Amino acid sequence: MQRTRPVSAKPVSVAETAPSPPVTMADIEAAAKAIAGKVENTPLRYSRTLSEITGAQVWIKFENLQFTASFKERGALNKLLSLSNSEKAAGVIAMSAGNHAQGVAYHASRLGIPSTIVMPKGTPSVKVEHTRNFGANVIIHGDTLADADAHARGLEKSQGLTFVHPFDDPHVIAGQGTIGLEIMDELADFDAVVVSVGGGGLSAGIATAIKSRRPAVAIYGVEPALYPSLSAELRGEEAKVGGATIAEGIAVKKVGRLTAQILRQLMEKVIVVEEDALERAVTLFVTVEKTVAEGAGAAGLAALLAEPELFRNRKVVVILSGGNIDTRLLASVLTRSLVREKRITSIRIIGNDQPGLLASVSTVIGDNGGNIIEVNHNRLALDVPAKGAEFDITIETRDARHTQEIIDALTSAGFPPRPHT
C-alpha cells in the first residue's frame, strides 16, 4: 500500500494577532490584469477516466500548456513588469532548476531585459537547453539549489542585477495566484484544490486567491517523501531531505519565509507521496490524458492515488503544474510502468545446451502472442549443469493475465520458467 504522511497546518487561535498577509487578493487581481494576454489562460477540464480511477470528481488545470510548459512564467512575468526602467536596463538574475529559469528567460527576452540564470549541476538537459534558447546567459554552478542560489546572490551584488526569486517574492506569489482566479471563473463550485509544493509560491498564491472568495474550499499541498520541507516547517522541525526524486522541480530543502507564513494559515494538509505514486501519476497523464507531466507537475494526481479515501466523491481540482521532463526519464518511467503491470517481464529458462532449444522456446512464446525484447544466454552459471544453458528472456505481453498464459504454455511444453536468484 502506498505510504503517505499527511501533515495538517497548525490552527491559529482567534486570540492571536495574525501578521499582515504578504499577498492579498488585490495583488492577485492586479497581477491578472498585468499579465493578461501575455500568458495562457490554460484549460480546466473534467477527466472521466481519472475520476473513475481515483474515486474523486477530478478536474485538471493544464499549466503544462503554457508556452514554457510551466506555471512559473506567470510569477516571473509579473515580477519583471514590476521593475523600474533602470532595473530593467541593468538586467535580472535568477536561480532555478529549470521551470522558473525558462519563465524568466522567455519573458525577459520578450521585454528586452538582459537575463542571467544560474542552474545547479544535474538540472535536466531539456530545461537547460530551453533556457538558453530563450535568450538567457546560463551558468551551471554547484551541486544543489543552495549552491546555485549563493552564486546567483554573489553575481546580483557584484553586477548590480535584480534577483528574481523563484517563489519567495510577493509579485511572484501574486502571479501564480492568477491560476486560482481562473479556476473560480470556470467552476461554480468545487471542494478542494490539490497542488504540488516546493518553495511554496504556487500553493501560496492559489490558496490566497481561492480562500479569499471561497473559504470553505480545502487546499492540499503535495511534496515528495524525499523532500518533505513544508511538512517539517509546519511541525517546527528541521527537514530531513535528500535523494534522487523524479520531482526535482519541487525538491527544495526549505520553503520560503513568505510562503510558509501564508500556507500555515491557509493550507489544510500536506500529503507526502513516494516515488512510485509520482511515477504512476506521470504515466496516467500520458496514457489517459495524452499529455506530458513532469514529476513535480504530476504530484497533485499522485496525492489522489495515494490518499483515495480523503478525496472520494469530492469535486477536486488538480494542478498539472508543468511538463518539462527529460525524454530519457519519461521513457524510463513509462517502461517501469509496463514492468509493474507485468506487460514487460523477464523469465528464466534452463535446459540442455543443444541446437534448437532457444528456437523452441521462442516458438512457444510467439505462438501465444508474446513479443521477445531481449535474450541473455549464460553458459557459465554455476547453478546450471555443465551441459546446460540458462536463458533470461524479456518479453512484452498485453497484461498480467497474458503473461501468465505464456508461462503456463512454456511449462506445458517442457520449459518451465525458473525464478531469478
* DSSP code of residue 250: G
Number of C-beta neighbours around residue 146 at 10 A: 14
Contacts 24+ apart (CB under 8 A), 81-86: 81/34, 81/35, 81/111, 82/171, 83/113, 83/162
| Bridge partners for 391 per DSSP | 349, 377
Closest CA to 116 of 175, 68, 156, 69: 156
Q: How far apart are CA 337 and CA 334, in angstroms?
A: 5
Q: How far apart are CA 256 and CA 169, in angstroms?
A: 9
Q: Where are the alpha helices (DSSP H) in 120-169?
A: 125-133, 145-159
CA-to-CA dists, residue 184 to 61, 209, 210, 217, 386, angstroms? 12, 9, 7, 11, 72
Q: What angle do the packed helices 275-287 and 327-340 form, to 10 degrees?
A: 100
| Bridge partners for 344 per DSSP | 396
Q: How far apart are CA 65 and CA 39, in angstroms?
A: 10
The x, y and z cell numbers of residue 313, run together, are 466523491
CB 323 within 8 A of CB 295: no
Cα dihedral 372, 375, 381, 384 sign: positive
Q: How far apart are CA 67 and CA 63, in angstroms?
A: 9
The residues, any chain, with a CB within 8 Å of residue 330's CB and separated by 6 or more, are 282, 286, 292
Backbone angles phi, psi at 62, to 5 degrees: -90, 75
| Bridge partners for 44 per DSSP | 61
Q: How far apart are CA 193 and CA 315, in angstroms?
A: 9
The residues, any chain, with a CB within 8 Å of residue 39's CB and separated by 6 or more, are 66, 67, 73, 74, 77
The x, y and z cell numbers of residue 379, run together, are 553458459
Just list the catalytic residues: 72, 321
